[in-house]
Amino acid sequence: MSILDILNFKMTPIYIDLNCDVGEGVGNEKELLPFISSCNIACGGHTGDKASMANVVQLAKENKVLAGAHPSYPDVANFGRVSMDMDEKVFTESVNVQIRSLVEVLNEADVQLHHIKPHGALYNDLAKDHQLALCFLKAVKNYKNSTYLYVPYASVIERLAVKEGFRVKYEGFADRNYEEDYSLVSRKHPKALIIDKGDVLEHIIEMVNDKKVTTINGKRLSIFVDTLCIHGDTPSALEIVLYLTQELPNHNICIKSE
């Protein structure tokens, strides 16, 4: 390989999907969606109703943002952030009802369901609970050939989904700190969230360019990401997204959906 080839290789941009959890009552979707490439729409489990879904779907369509379902434990009171022990049949029906409710709205707007990303405690539980992960995959099997699953790297749900032939996108969290088992630091911890835009940028560069993530205890772990999440309810979400739009290209990283 010549020096010119090496320089050109180094200059080749890395494209990364930037997703946000939306339709959760914050009301910042109109400002956020022009700068992201995919969105995860709350569909009634932890919050969200037909009106909120329709509003976000229309904004996604206008901004050419890929639309995904964001199902949760059916627990509005705790915003889906508390684990629940549910009967398998009841759990499966809950997941299906949530996704179907969004699909109905998407069909009315002539928008395709691009992905499914579990929310909150369900997302965290699926990363480590083998039986729950199998149950979830069974619940979403009808979307297996048409829809991606957003899953955390090195997780139970990721391994099972790949084994079962699901299409996956590996997700990293731009605004959250990690533990050494790849789980996210509990929101009860004062350093769970990364709210400084400069710190978020460094976090992303490490994950995308170095394929590493530094845990809250300072250990560097290997990681691979296709998509990065900024939580729509992070206090500085819009400021972070605008900053990333400006700064990521300076580090050879471009926000772009597939």
User: Any idea which architecture 13-255 has in CATH?
Assistant: Alpha-Beta Barrel (3.20)
What pTM did the predictor assign? 0.93
- Look at 78 and 2; give whichever has higher pLDDT: 78
58-70: average pLDDT? 98
* Domains in the chain: boundaries: 13-255
Q: What is the pLDDT of residues 214-254, one digit of tens each?
A: 999 999 999 999 999 999 888 899 999 999 999 999 999 99
Give the pLDDT of residue 7. Answer: 46
Mean pLDDT throughout 71-91? 97
Task: Please answer whether residues 148 and 115 qualify as being in contact, where contact means their C-beta atoms are separated by less than 8 angstroms.
Answer: yes
Residue 4 has pLDDT above 50, yes or no: no
Give the mean model confidence (pLDDT) for residues 105-123. 98
Burial (Cβ within 10 Å: 0-12, 13-18, ≥19) of residue 115: buried
- pLDDT category at 10 given cuts 50, 70, 90 is low
Residue whose tokens read 């020096």: 3
CA–CA separation, 223 and 178 (whole Å): 11
User: Could you give the CA distance from residue 72 to residue 97 in angstroms, rounded to a whole number?
Assistant: 11
Alpha helices in 85-177 (DSSP H): 88-108, 120-126, 130-139, 156-163
Question: With 90 as the cut, is the pLDDT of residue 258 above it?
Answer: no
155-190 tens-digit pLDDT: 999 999 999 999 999 999 999 999 999 999 999 999
Sign of CA dihedral 197, 241, 194, 149: negative
Q: Looking at residues 209-215, what average pLDDT do you find?
A: 97
Element (DSSP H or E) covering residue 205: helix 197-205
Give the chain's mean pLDDT.
Answer: 94
% the chain with pLDDT above 90: 91
Asked if the model's pLDDT at residue 2 lies above 90, the reply is no
**pLDDT at 9 > cutoff 70:** no
b/e burial code for range 185-212 (CB count within 10 A of at least 16 → b):
beeeeeeebbeebeebbebbbbbbeeee
- pLDDT score recorded for residue 6: 46
Task: Quick: pLDDT tens for 25-44.
Answer: 999 999 999 999 999 999 99
Q: Which long-range contacts (CB under 8 A, 24 or more apart) does 127-132 make?
A: 127/151, 127/152, 127/155, 127/156, 127/157, 127/158, 127/182, 127/183, 128/155, 128/156, 128/183, 129/156, 130/156, 130/160
